[in-house]
Amino acid sequence: MAYRAGTPIPAWHFLADVTRVAAALPTGNHVLNVCSDRYRFTVGFAASLVAGKVSLLPSTHTPEVIRQLKLFAPDAFCLTDDPNCEIDLPRTRYPEAADGWLESTSLSGERQAWQVPSVETGQVAAYVFTSGSTGTPLPYKKTWGRLVRCVRDGATRLGLNTRPHTIVGTVPPQHMYGFESSVLLGLQTGGALCAERPFYPADICSTLAQAPRPRALISTPVHLRALLAAEVALPEVDLIVSATAPLPRDLARDVEKKFGACLLEIYGSTETGQIATRRTAETVEWQLWPGVTLSLRDGQAWAQGGHVEQQTAMCDVLELTQDDRFLLHGRTADLVNIAGKRSSLAYLNHQLNSIHGVVDGTFFFPDESHASSTGVTRVAAFVVAPTLEPTSLIEELRRRIDPVFLPRPLMFVDRLPRNDTGKLPQEALRELAARHLRHA
Amino acid sequence: MPDNASPVRQPAPPASSNSLEREVADLIVQALNLDIAAAEIDPHAPLYGEGLGLDSIDILEIALVVSKQYGIQLRADGEENEHIFRSLRHLSDYIAAHRTK
């Protein structure tokens, strides 16, 4: 069911772990599972499900987000495998099995621990959160039935329903993508999960090499670019999946060639889960999940049907080409996507302006990209804050928003170029940025 | 010519020279398009999180330029890894000790 450093963890061991951990969970009904080890996260998630508890999956764990989670679910507790975890919630350490526990379990014949538990389709398995324009994370309910349906349809799309693959992911299990395409995909297809979450190219390659074939790499454009740019020998894989940001076709072709495998890209959102795939090397068109439909109203795309819980606005500009196919034209003006992490500018601006000492402030996403090897463009910010030092402002921001959105550069100005209606035209911000950079 | 003289002992070379440190600082500033000058990076300040305030994307970027420039593949295991990004000095020392280019 899983591998850790090449050592297999059989399914019955997993089920026994789930039963054991479920019994060790405290009484709160909401779990913030921050286990970084993919196996432990999966055990913790399954244990929560079995115990009727709801898993909370915010996209980041800043103090501000934790504060909001407590308001949303006052009985929330944190399940962690990190002894240095400092999250401000009652913390439960993932309980490792005592020595001899497995032997005693099998000896005492507790076979009921090894039956696969069934879960009601209507049970709320998790809440995911996105950044709302009011500065409060918005919760989206995920019921077990719809999650399973979504992932099973996905498995068919990826060719994994008939041929389970060992799954190696560079993405965290807490993020919607990692949650669906590693944790749930493994559980639903019978493909083994690799417990590691490798980061450096050399580590990704060695985890892949240790994974029994057929094996699938679940990753993102940032990491795929890094793998190609690094001077490491790439092991053969049998499938590559990419998501969180669109992958350029040339890169897709390069990846396919270097790994000797087909690359499928997944498109989705935290709110809807995954809703479309494409074989990027061959086509720009995305194909929707069975049952999911898109409608366009006033230039806004809405997704509904299939596994999608409720009609949901998509934050990207989509163009329908057929009933079940569409083109992705880029983000709507408010959305920022940095290295696959998404937020709304309105949310970021709200956080910036909530800082004591900030008179006025705005984030600004530049049009041109300074493409690094990982292809990441950072978001900049202008701020009017005569009493604040840059370092203290950054520290305050760090408490509120994911580090990937910390502004680069952070520009202190006398006033923002607001027009008569109080709006900040993109053109004026571009000009301000150009002037600032010239003086730097 | 003094007899019985012990051979003059050279002091052990510093783990990384100032010029390597500056070179690494330059590399970081360029690769990450940072808003500060390489000379402004405090060699003892943390690189990740606080101090220079880099995040994991930056670390990946640095890993790539380090591999290209110095032929070192960074890995997450090993005690050394905890210390590599503790400061510019730590990073330069690591590079000096392990470079193959």
CA-based end-to-end distance of chain B: 41
The answer to whether residue A134 sits within a structural domain is no
- Rounded to an integer, what is the distance from CA A170 to the centroid of its chain? 11
In single-letter form, the type of residue at position A272 comes to T
A326 and A365 in a single domain? The answer is no
What confidence tens digit (pLDDT) does each residue in A47-61 have? Answer: 999 999 999 999 899
- Rounded to an integer, what is the distance from CA A212 to the centroid of its chain? 25
- Of A91-100, A103-112, A353-362, A420-429, which one has max mean pLDDT? A353-362
Does residue B1 have a pLDDT over 50? no
Candidates B50, B60, B70, B74: best to mutate against A (most CBs of A within 10 A) is: B60
Please state, in angstroms and rounded to a whole number, the distance separating the CA atoms of residues A256 and A407: 34
Q: Would residue B74 be called left, alpha or beta, if left means φ above 0 and alpha means ψ between -120 and 50 degrees? A: beta
Residue numbers in A near B37 (CB within 8 A): none
What confidence tens digit (pLDDT) does each residue in A164-198 have? Answer: 999 999 999 999 999 999 999 999 999 999 999 99
Q: Which residue of A has its CA nearest to B62?
A: A373
Please state the three-class secondary structure of A316-351 as a single string: EEEEEEECCEEEEEEECCCEEEECCEEEEHHHHHHH
- Of A91-105, A320-334, A384-398, which one has max mean pLDDT? A384-398
Do the Cβ atoms of B33 and A230 come within 8 Å? no
Query: Worst-scoring range by mean pLDDT, A366-370, B28-32, B33-37, B55-59?
Result: A366-370
Do the Cβ atoms of A200 and B73 come within 8 Å? yes
Please state, in angstroms and rounded to a whole number, the distance separating the CA atoms of residues A151 and B89: 47
A146 and A71 in a single domain? The answer is no
Domain boundary among A307, A332, A357: A332
Domain boundary among A64, A86, A118: A118
A368 shares contact with chain B (CB less than 8 Å): no
The answer to whether residue A228 sits within a structural domain is yes
What H or E segment, with its residue span, contains residue A158? helix A144-158
Residue numbers in B near A408 (CB within 8 A): 33-35
> Rounded to 5 degrees, what angle do the CA atoms A93, A97, A101 make?
155
A324 and A395 in a single domain? The answer is no
Q: Which residue of B has its CA nearest to A374?
A: B61
Residue numbers in B near A220 (CB within 8 A): none
Please state, in angstroms and rounded to a whole number, the distance separating the CA atoms of residues A406 and A213: 40
Confidence of residue A373 (pLDDT cuts 50, 70, 90): low
Do the Cβ atoms of B73 and A404 come within 8 Å? no
Query: How far away is chain A from the Cα of B18, in angstroms, using its nearest Cα?
Result: 26
Please give the residue range of the domain that contains residue A170.
142-332
For the entire predicted model, the pTM comes to: 0.89
Do the Cβ atoms of B73 and A232 come within 8 Å? yes
Confidence of residue A420 (pLDDT cuts 50, 70, 90): confident
| Cis amide linkage into residue A214, ω under 30° from 0 | yes
Query: How far away is chain B from the Cα of A406, in angstroms, using its nearest Cα?
Result: 9
A152 and A98 in a single domain? The answer is no
A328 and A343 in a single domain? The answer is no
Do the Cβ atoms of B64 and A222 come within 8 Å? no
Contact A429, A399 (CB under 8 A): no
**Dihedral (Cα; A147, A150, A151, A157), 10-degree rounding:** 180
A313 and A356 in a single domain? The answer is no
- Residues in CB range of A226: below 8 A, 6 or more apart: A201, A373, A374, B60, B63, B64
| 3-state DSSP assignment of residue A278 | strand
Neighbours of A174 (CB within 10 A): 23
Does residue A369 have a pLDDT over 60? no
Sign of CA dihedral A414, A419, A421, A423: negative
Do the Cβ atoms of B61 and A403 come within 8 Å? no
A311 and A356 in a single domain? The answer is no
| 3-state DSSP assignment of residue A194 | strand
In degrees and rounded to multiples of 5, residue A192 shows phi and psi of -75, 140
The answer to whether residue A434 sits within a structural domain is yes
Q: What is the domain partition of chain B in residue ranges?
A: 18-98
- Mean of the pLDDT values across residues B68-83? 82
Extract the tokens encoding B90: 């730590």
- When CB atoms are compared, the residue of B53, B65, B75 closest to A200 is B75
What confidence tens digit (pLDDT) does each residue in A63-98 have? Answer: 999 999 999 999 999 999 999 999 999 999 999 887
A355 and A324 in a single domain? The answer is no
Query: How far away is chain B from the Cα of A9, in angstroms, using its nearest Cα?
Result: 21
Helices B56-70 and B18-32, axial angle in degrees (round to 10): 130
Q: What is the ipTM of this complex?
A: 0.84
Helices marked H in B4-99 — which ranges?
A: 18-32, 56-70, 80-84, 88-98
In single-letter form, the type of residue at position A335 comes to L
Please state the three-class secondary structure of A21-56 as a single string: HHHHCCCCCEEEECCCCHHHHHHHHHHHHHCCCEEE
Write the CA distances from A154 to A30, A184, A276, B79, integer angstroms: 27, 10, 9, 39
Does residue A117 have a pLDDT over 90? no
Does residue A226 have a pLDDT over 60? yes
The answer to whether residue A123 sits within a structural domain is no
Please state, in angstroms and rounded to a whole number, the distance separating the CA atoms of residues B51 and A87: 21
Q: What CATH number should be reported for the domain whose range is B18-98?
A: 1.10.1200.10
CA-based end-to-end distance of chain A: 55
Burial label for A70, CB within 10 Å (0-12, 13-18, 19+), is middle
Please state, in angstroms and rounded to a whole number, the distance separating the CA atoms of residues B94 and A82: 26
**Which CATH number covers residue A161?**
3.40.50.12780
Q: For residue B48, what is the DSSP state?
A: B
**Which CATH number covers residue A72?**
3.40.50
What confidence tens digit (pLDDT) does each residue in A122-169 have? Answer: 999 999 998 877 778 899 999 999 999 999 999 999 999 999 999 999
- When CB atoms are compared, the residue of B33, B49, B67 closest to A230 is B67
Please state, in angstroms and rounded to a whole number, the distance separating the CA atoms of residues A153 and A274: 10
A317 and A342 in a single domain? The answer is no
- A 197-256 residues with CB < 8 A to B: 198-203, 222-223, 226, 229-232
The answer to whether residue A136 sits within a structural domain is no
Do the Cβ atoms of A229 and B64 come within 8 Å? yes
Q: Which residue has the tokens 């060719």?
A: A159
Rounded-to-5 percentages of helix, strand, coil across chain A: 35, 25, 40
How much is the pLDDT for A333?
78
A304 and A366 in a single domain? The answer is no
A297 and A380 in a single domain? The answer is no
Q: Which residue of B has its CA nearest to A369?
A: B33
A328 and A361 in a single domain? The answer is no
| 3-state DSSP assignment of residue A234 | coil
| Cis amide linkage into residue A409, ω under 30° from 0 | yes
In degrees and rounded to multiples of 5, residue B71 shows phi and psi of 70, 25
- Rounded to an integer, what is the distance from CA A341 to the centroid of its chain? 7
The domain tally of chain A equals 3
Do the Cβ atoms of A222 and B60 come within 8 Å? yes
Q: For residue A387, what is the DSSP state?
A: T
